[in-house]
Structures are given as structure tokens and as C-alpha cells.
Structure 1
């Protein structure tokens, strides 16, 4: 009886020790998870430029695959690799012939643009200074040298990995080469990512990755159509108005149209600066031209494109542009929209559908 009482008295300390060890184990586990999370955030912060460059490579690969699928379906080609080779050959031919035909004109217009913009800024300041109500506003604006210094300070943030002119060429070369490798064997990299997930969740992980790829593919095809339309309408409209360097300004407008809402505003600034010293009336016509192009795109082209591609909420897109621009600079602004599409797919499929159990649709399937 005494032994039984003694044994029963020994159990509570053992239970207390077990509970204490379990508590310490949970504390150590939580500390480890918190430390790993902080290290991951630090790695993402310091490797942000490299990650943005990789994301740009993935976007280019997805665009190539989308064009290859279209070519394979329309031309009834026997394999996707043959379609991809045909797409690459056509793109190389188009860029080569276009560059050979337009390179001298674009080079001359680019050097002329670099000389005209500062002179146009001075002329605009002089003309606006005649109005008393605008003098106070002009006094608050930085000088041309200060504007150039601020633009130079933005150059390191404008690139993805390298900076400067040669850095832009290096970024483009990396995006093209790595994007082609990604496009040649996309399933190799998708399978590698899926293997990092527990076996029971691998089918769902593959479905999420397929949805992300389909969403980005539709968005890129739609955006490519919009960019071509914006560049063509801008170049033709400026040529009809008699604005110098219409071809270069049209190419700039087409490239900047990749950035929704912000890009068209940025594209209109050099055209206005070039037109204003020649004639304020011409500058007004240029402003009306860009406004008309935005109306055509906003109320005609984009709704038609969104019906077959991806429709993202405008307020969310602008908010993400501001957020990514503050964190990653101009590269973050440029890539904010596709990253927003990826985040929307992840939130809808992994949280709204899997956690909340709601039957929500990813952005590529939202038509209204």
C-alpha cells in the first residue's frame, strides 16, 4: 500500500516534466519558425532584383509558350517544340528586319529627343511664367538640372539586375536566353516545384501552378495586343499632327503601355514637351490625341480584350503599382500588374477556396 502511494505520488512530477518539455519544445519550434520567416524576408529583400529578373524571364517564357500554342493550333503543327521554333524564328526575323530598317531613324530621333526635351522644358517655364497665377507653382518645381539628377537617381531602380544602358542590354539578354530555356521545357521546372510540396497536396499545387500559368498567358497576350494598338495609334496620330519624332514617340508609348494607367501618362509627357514650344495649339491637339487614344482603349479595346483574357480591378492594380514601386522602384511598377494577377490566383485558390470553402473564381475566369 505504501509503495502504491509512493508510486502515485511520483507521477505528478513526471507529468509536470513532460508538460514542461512539451512547452519548451513548442517555444523552440515557434522561435525557429519566426527566425526562418525573418531570414526568408531578409533574403527576399536583398535578392529582390534577382527575383524580379527571374519573374521577368518567366513572363517571357509564358508569352513564348502562349504564342507557340496559338501557332500550333492555327497552323496544325505536329509538335509544340516545332511551333516554338517557328515563333522564335519569326520574332528574330521581325526584330532583325525592323531594326535594320528603322535603326538609323530611331538613333537620330533618340539623340534629337535628348537635346529637345531640356530646351522644351525651359520654353514651357518661360511661357507659363507669363501668367501670375502659375508663377508660384513654377517656383515650387525643381530646375532642369535637379530633374535630370532625380532621373539619374532613378536609373538604378529602373533596372532589374544591372543598371545603365549596358545594364538594360544585359537584362534583356538574360530575359531572352533564360526565357527561351524555360519555354523549351516548362514541365521540368513545374515538376521541380511540385516535388517540394507534400505528396498529398501535389495535385492541388499543380492545379494552382497551371492556373497561374494560364492567367499570365492570357494577360500577356492581351497586353501585347494593347501595346501594339497603342504604339500604332500614337505614331499615326502624331504623324498626322506633324509632331517630330512620331515613330520614336509611338514606340515609347507602346512600350510604356505595358504599365497600365501610369504608362500612358508617362508616354504623353515627351510628346507634349516637344509640341508645346512649336505651338500651344499643337500641344493641345496632342493632349486631345492621347486622351482620345485612352478613351478608345478604355471603352473599346480593353473591354474586348478582357472578355477573352484577364480582368483585374483598376483600384487594386494602381494600389499594387504604388506598393511595389515604393519597395522595388520602377521595375516593381512595371511588373506590378502580373504580380497582382499571381497574388489573386494564390489568394482565391489557396485561401478563399481551400480555407474558407467559398466557390470563388480565379481572375482569368471572371468575365463580369
Structure 2
């Protein structure tokens, strides 16, 4: 039985609709990410607003009160730690390029060992190796003697410049809406007011979502939405606990190792903890580089300390938090983290 014209039109329309939705998500992925953060924050605010309603406080006022109280708490803590954080942040920006240069010198000095073999093997895969004593041909447009004074290979860009470019590019990919002060303020205000609106009238948005379901499925949809809200609320709480614990513990470890700008590096660990898998790697790179300011041995100690902290977090802290908060088996948490690390 062949396809009728109606079937062809319906299938074509469905394919076009799917492609348009995928294109919309690709173009506006920043907006969807901000909306997700607003919904996640609103779920936590909604729970507190429900408790304040018992004291006959309007829900909208309660939601706004919780949000702005939280912002005030952050501002107060920021004002308290701002002098130390500002001083160590300036020290980190000043000394990090020097630390990365020392890493580069350390690598150059040991290119004759195993690391040199690895680097040579990596270079050999990029292009053919010239025989010893062979003269490289000049390009046609190159004047004779233009580069005859150079006795070594062309110098590659500094290591800290490469790292800076890659980290900045990665940060733009992860958080593309945070590229300037105006966009930071605009993004924060968008998330704040979105969370207030969601938490003030959750039933309004719930009814809107339920209207997309068939009538016979709406009762099941209410149950699923309630369960999703509870799970996300508990996940957010466990994530915040993990961020605070890693921030405090890493700061203490860096202070014991006498690493410069330990407080700023510890705060960086706590913030990057929200980014799964790649966040701990990004937060460890500046700390290891700062360790090179004193000696390569201290940098090795810092790397070992960070590895130990991540091992304890991934195999003890997070599985136990997920078990107590989300009733997720610890072994399943470890397996899931390993799968994300491989992917």
C-alpha cells in the first residue's frame, strides 16, 4: 500500500518541526540554560515560600523575600571576604603567568626523558620528520637570507598564552552569556526575577504544562511533576553541600601546603564544582601552576592533593550525599560518574 498525499504532508511536517526545534535549541541554548537555572532556583524558593505562607504572608511576597534575603546574605559574605579575595585574586592574576612560564621551562628541561619521548612522538604525528642534516626547502616567496639567522625551530606561543586562550574559549562555550559586566548583571537579574515568578505562582505554570497532556494523563503528570521537583530540590541541596565542603577542604589543604592565593584558589574550586567532570580539572590547573612558583615538588604535592580530594569526593562524599538525599545507591553514583568521565 503506497503513501497517500496526506501521509507525505504529515511526515514532512513532522520532520520539519523536529528540525526547527533542534535549531531553536541550538541557537537559543543560552536562554534555555538560564531558564533551567531560574526553574532550579525557583524550586528551592518555592519550598521556603510554602513555609512562610503559614504565617499568612502572601506567597509572592514570601518568594521575593527569600530571594532578596539570599542575595543580601551573599552580598554580606562577599563584603566580609572581599578584601582577602581581592588581594589574593590580584596576586593570582599577577603570578599565574610566571607560574605557567616555570611549568614551560620545567617541561623543556626534561624533554630528554620520558616526557620528551612523548612530546617527540606527538610532534612526529603532526608531520614528517626531516632526516638529519637535510636542508629544508625555502618557500618560493621567501627571500634568500630572510630567516637564515634562525638556528632553531620556530618558537611556539608561550604556554600561558595557549592556556589562557583555551580556558577563555572553554568558558565562553560553557557560559557564553557571561562575557561582560553588563551581561553578567543582566543574566543574574533574569534568573532572579524568573525564580520569583515561578515560585510565586507555581500552579499557574503547572496548569500550563498539564494542558499539553491528554486529559486522561494529567493526574499522572501531576504526580511526576511533584516527584521531579522533590528530586531537583534534594539534588540542589546535595550539590551546594559538596561545593561548600570542597571549597573549605581545598582551602585548608592549600594553606597547609603554603600555596600562594590559597583562599582565592579554594573559592575557585567551590565555584567550578558545579560544572560536572571538567570543573575540577579547570580548578586544579591554576593551583598546580601556582605551586611551581616555589618548586616542581610543591606542584607535585598540590596535584596529588587535588587528586586525593577528587577521589574522596567521587567515591565517598557525593555517593553518601546522593544516598541520604536522593536514595541513590552509592555504587550507581560511582558508575554514573565514571561513565560521564569516559564520555
Q: What's the TM-score once normalised by structure 1's chain length?
A: 0.71
- Number of corresponding residues: 301
The answer as to 2:284 corresponding to 1:284 is no
CA RMSD of aligned residues (A): 3.1
Structure-2 residue corresponding to 1:257 = 273
In 1: Cα distance, 2:84 partner to 2:18 partner: 52
The answer as to 2:90 corresponding to 1:111 is yes
User: Structure 1 residues 183 and 224 mapped into 2: Cα distance closer, same or farther (>3 Å)?
Assistant: same
Match of 2:27 among 46, 49, 54: 46
Structure-2 residue corresponding to 1:56 = 37
CA deviation after TM superposition for structure 1 residue 78, in Å: 6.4
In 2: Cα distance, 1:262 partner to 1:152 partner: 14
More helix by share: 1
Structure-1 residue corresponding to 2:18 = 37
Alignment of 1:74-153 (within 5 A): 81=59, 84=63, 87-88=66-67, 90-131=69-110, 132-133=112-113, 134-135=115-116, 137=118, 143-144=158-159, 145-153=161-169
Are the aligned partners of 1:117 and 1:274 in contact in 2 as well (CA < 8 Å)? yes
CA deviation after TM superposition for structure 1 residue 91, in Å: 1.9
CA deviation after TM superposition for structure 1 residue 53, in Å: 1.5
Are the aligned partners of 2:319 and 2:333 in contact in 1 as well (CA < 8 Å)? no
CA deviation after TM superposition for structure 1 residue 164, in Å: 3.4
Show structure 2 runs of 5+ residues with no match.
Answer: 124-155
In 1: Cα distance, 2:311 partner to 2:336 partner: 20
Match of 2:204 among 183, 188, 191: 188
User: Structure 1 residues 24 and 307 mapped into 2: Cα distance closer, same or farther (>3 Å)?
Assistant: same
CA deviation after TM superposition for structure 1 residue 265, in Å: 2.3
Structure-2 residue corresponding to 1:197 = 213
Structure-2 residue corresponding to 1:176 = 192
Structure-2 residue corresponding to 1:309 = 325
SS at match of 2:233: helix
Of the two structures, which has the highest relative contact order with CA contacts closer than 8 Å and spacing of 6 or more?
2
User: Structure 1 residues 152 and 256 mapped into 2: Cα distance closer, same or farther (>3 Å)?
Assistant: closer
SS at match of 1:278: coil
Are the aligned partners of 1:268 and 1:287 in contact in 2 as well (CA < 8 Å)? yes
User: Structure 1 residues 318 and 176 mapped into 2: Cα distance closer, same or farther (>3 Å)?
Assistant: farther
SS at match of 2:301: helix
In 2: Cα distance, 1:198 partner to 1:256 partner: 41
Are the aligned partners of 1:271 and 1:286 in contact in 2 as well (CA < 8 Å)? yes
In 1: Cα distance, 2:108 partner to 2:101 partner: 11
Structure-2 residue corresponding to 1:237 = 253
In 2: Cα distance, 1:256 partner to 1:101 partner: 21
User: Structure 1 residues 28 and 322 mapped into 2: Cα distance closer, same or farther (>3 Å)?
Assistant: farther
Structure-1 residue corresponding to 2:46 = 65
In 1: Cα distance, 2:24 partner to 2:71 partner: 36
In 2: Cα distance, 1:245 partner to 1:300 partner: 28
Alignment of 1:349-368 (within 5 A): none
Show structure 1 runs of 5+ residues with no match.
Answer: 1-18, 324-368
Structure-1 residue corresponding to 2:152 = none
Bigger shift: residues 311-320 or 299-308: 311-320
Are the aligned partners of 2:265 and 2:287 in contact in 1 as well (CA < 8 Å)? yes
In 2: Cα distance, 1:320 partner to 1:286 partner: 25
Match of 1:224 among 240, 256, 260: 240
CA deviation after TM superposition for structure 1 residue 318, in Å: 6.3
Are the aligned partners of 1:116 and 1:274 in contact in 2 as well (CA < 8 Å)? yes
User: Structure 1 residues 38 and 276 mapped into 2: Cα distance closer, same or farther (>3 Å)?
Assistant: same
Structure-2 residue corresponding to 1:351 = none
